[in-house]
């Protein structure tokens, strides 16, 4: 199988840089005229899938919003993952898993293993027990040609208390160290276009990259960037932040697309509009 990073690069070339979030928040289910139930999750997820898959390089279900419905919610995820695998639509499971030792290995088996019904193309990870605590997941991703997206520099204000620490020291801020570790991880892999260990960097981080002396143009993997559209970042602002790494940025949009639902045809128009906006601005950079 082709490594995840190269499969994602091919998908971004074919479909554009858009990633659509599948985020069935209770209030959005209500707006869509759906009950807050597992069956409604299925309707929601499949409508987004049908409408948006033709215009997105990947789809990103927010795992917690399925977990809140227990085993029935996870069954919807399993069905979604199976359909995506059959259609060769890439999935980013937004689970933000992070632990140590055998527990991290169990998470790796669940989300990146080949025998788990939750196993899928890629998963988001939290490195704040130490980057190397993620080793079981990183190794599983490499062994199974799957991918990871490691939280590096997020746009939530609480993140600064951890991610910005150490910027005056020789090693740089914590976020900079995470990015450096992910770069090394990709260097150890074999790939053609980009590695399979990605980063999560918010589209609304503003001047943080400059303030922390982070240069993403030297990063050698994909960058998942939430915050485009309804969360405040325009395509112009986004590509200015990621100057030098534009081709690696997988741009997530959730509310901006999902607010067009519930009909797949309306979701398709919203996804196509977002995709076209990103392609237009990226091409002008």
End-to-end Cα spacing for the chain: 33
d(CA 102, CA 37): 33
Count of CB atoms situated within 10 Å of the CB of 104? 21
Contact between residue 5 and residue 121 where contact means Cβ atoms under 8 Å apart: no
List, in sequence order, the alpha helices (H) in 53-173.
Answer: 63-67, 70-87, 101-112, 135-143, 160-163
Instruction: Name the active-site residue from 60, 96, 160, 176.
Output: 96
CA distances from 130 to 98, 142, 165, 188 (A): 9, 19, 14, 19
Burial string for 12-50 (b: 16+ CB within 10 Å, else e) reads beebbbbbbbbbbeeebbeebebeeebebbbbbbbbbbe
**Chain mean position to CA 98:** 15
Q: Which residues pair with 252 in a beta bridge?
A: 19
Q: Look up residue 243 and give its two tokens.
A: 């100057």
Q: Is 96 one of the annotated active-site residues of the chain?
A: yes
Which residues, other chains included, contact 17 with Cβ-Cβ below 8 Å and sequence gap of 6+?
57, 249, 250, 251, 275, 278, 279, 282
**What is the maximum span of the chain, computed from C-alpha positions, in angstroms?**
54
Which residue is it, tokens 């932040």?
241
Under 8 Å CB-to-CB from 21, ≥6 apart: which residues? 59, 60, 61, 62, 94, 226, 252, 253, 254, 257, 258
Active site residues: 96
């Amino acid at each position: 199988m082709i490594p995840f990073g190269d499969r994602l690069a091919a998908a971004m070339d074919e479909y554009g840089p858009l990633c659509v979030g599948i985020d069935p928040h209770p209030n959005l289910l209500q707006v869509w005229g759906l009950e807050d139930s597992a069956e409604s999750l299925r309707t929601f997820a499949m409508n987004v899938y049908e409408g948006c898959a033709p215009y997105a390089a990947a789809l990103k279900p927010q795992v917690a919003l399925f977990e809140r419905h227990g085993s029935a919610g996870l069954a919807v995820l399993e069905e979604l993952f199976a359909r995506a695998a059959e259609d060769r639509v890439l999935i980013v499971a937004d689970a933000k898993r992070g632990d140590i030792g055998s527990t991290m290995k169990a998470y790796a088996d669940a989300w990146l293993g080949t025998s788990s019904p939750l196993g899928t193309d890629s998963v988001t990870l939290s490195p704040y027990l130490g980057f190397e605590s993620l080793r079981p997941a990183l190794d599983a991703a490499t062994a199974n040609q799957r991918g990871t997206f490691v939280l590096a520099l997020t746009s939530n204000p609480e993140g600064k208390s951890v991610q910005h620490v150490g910027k005056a020291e020789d090693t740089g801020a914590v976020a900079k160290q995470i990015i450096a570790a992910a770069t090394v991880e990709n260097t150890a892999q074999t790939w053609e276009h980009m590695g399979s260990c990605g980063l999560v960097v918010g589209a609304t981080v503003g001047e943080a990259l400059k303030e922390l002396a982070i240069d993403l143009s030297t990063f050698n993997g994909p960058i998942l960037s939430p915050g485009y559209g309804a969360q405040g970042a325009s395509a112009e602002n986004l590509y200015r932040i990621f100057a030098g790494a534009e081709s690696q940025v997988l741009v997530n949009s959730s509310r901006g697309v999902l607010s067009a639902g519930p009909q797949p045809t309306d979701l398709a128009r919203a996804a196509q509009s977002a995709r076209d906006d990103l392609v237009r601005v990226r091409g002008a950079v």
